[in-house]
Amino acid sequence: MQEDPMEEPIPLHIHLVSDSTGETVSAVLEAASSMFPVLEPVTHVHPFVRTRVALDEVMAALEAQPGPVFCSIADTSVSSELFERAARLQLEVVDVMAPVVEALSRFGGERRIERPGSQYRVDAEYLERVAALDYAISHDDGLGPDYLLQADVILVGVSRTSKTPTCIYLAYQGIRAANVPLVSGEAPPEGLFEAQRAGLPVIGLTASPQRLAQIRRHRLSNMEISGENAYADIHHIRDEVTDARLFFEKHGIPMIDVTRRSIEETAAAVRVLLRRSRVPS
């Protein structure tokens, strides 16, 4: 069903209540609300709700600006009280974790912990994510062979194909992603080929010339650079994209078209290619 362009947006106060940072419930709401463009959510995030005092503050906010409540609270005593007090205000409460926990309980039984923020642990996996993030930030556009050989994956592409933000997003998932730009008229760094010969996965990022021209014009505008510039010239960009595609094909580098992909979707596509590269042929 398509949205009526004349339809007035519906403002809606939405309260997100969490016993931790609120990222889980925020991500669920963002995904779900994108399906209802007519809604104009006014989001109120209430993190670290673990005590009655904190819950009292939430209830005061609900009374002042009523709206549906989405929660993620491990302590059942706190969540039960939230449900009861919200019901008195005739407000709906949705526990976004409940269906998942219920499904897993059929396998894990009652052996579960109710520790707030238990998904956030300073363990080896967490430290690996920190190291991957430091790697991505410290070596953006780094071309040294030693740097590239430390990567889990190497992303290659012309300017503005989302290499840097994708590398940073992958770092949050514990993946060390290197970023190698393809510059018109310049040979790719030898370190790229050395890494490829060593068996490191190399993935090419590409986009439509029209999209790249739009992004580059916007960047030049932000930098207050005016006048003719080959960087944002559509004919020059078409040549860049064509040369990049030929380069990827010549060296057997799989491609991801990021034209209509978000950073999250591009990172997911990278992870799919990484899994495939690890499957024995």
Q: pLDDT for 34-90, tens place per residue? A: 999 999 999 999 999 999 999 999 999 999 999 999 999 989 899 999 999 999 999
Q: Going by C-beta distance under 8 Å and a sequence separation of 6 or more, which residues neighbour residue 94?
A: 68, 69, 70, 71
Is residue 269 in a domain?
A: yes
Q: Is 162 marked within a binding site?
A: yes
Residues 87 and 137 in one domain: no
Q: Is 109 marked within a binding site?
A: no
Instruction: Choose the final residue of a domain: 75, 108, 141.
Output: 108
Alpha-carbon distance of 166 to 179, in angstroms, equals 9
Residues 266 and 231 in one domain: yes
Residues 128 and 260 in one domain: yes
Q: What is the gyration radius of the CA atoms in the chain, in angstroms?
A: 24
* 71: β partners: 17, 95
Instruction: Choose the final residue of a domain: 108, 139, 163.
Output: 108
CATH code of residue 20? 3.40.50.2300
Is residue 118 in a domain?
A: no
Q: Which domain, by its residues, includes 166?
A: 124-278
Residues 236 and 100 in one domain: no
Residues 41 and 86 in one domain: yes
Q: What is the pLDDT of residue 1?
A: 46
Residues 233 and 175 in one domain: yes
Q: What is the pLDDT of residue 223?
A: 84
Tokens of 180: 């190698």
Q: What is the pLDDT of residue 143?
A: 55
Q: Is 259 marked within a binding site?
A: no
Residues 41 and 163 in one domain: no
Q: What is the pLDDT of residue 141?
A: 60
Q: What is the pLDDT of residue 230?
A: 86
CATH code of residue 147? 3.40.50
Q: Is 93 marked within a binding site?
A: no
Residues 86 and 172 in one domain: no
Instruction: Choose the final residue of a domain: 41, 73, 108.
Output: 108
Residues 171 and 225 in one domain: yes
Is residue 3 in a domain?
A: no
pLDDT below 50 — which residues of the chain?
Answer: 1, 120, 122, 281
Is residue 201 in a domain?
A: yes
Residues 162 and 35 in one domain: no
Alpha-carbon distance of 263 to 173, in angstroms, equals 13
Residues 138 and 266 in one domain: yes
Is residue 114 in a domain?
A: no
Q: Is 105 marked within a binding site?
A: no
How many structural domains are present in the chain? 2
Is residue 46 in a domain?
A: yes
Alpha-carbon distance of 204 to 269, in angstroms, equals 11
Is residue 179 in a domain?
A: yes
CA distances to 56, 139, 188 from 142, in Å: 51, 5, 12
Q: Is 160 marked within a binding site?
A: yes
Is residue 26 in a domain?
A: yes
Q: Is 261 marked within a binding site?
A: no
DSSP-derived secondary structure for 252-277: T--EEE-TT--HHHHHHHHHHHHHHH
Q: Is 250 marked within a binding site?
A: no
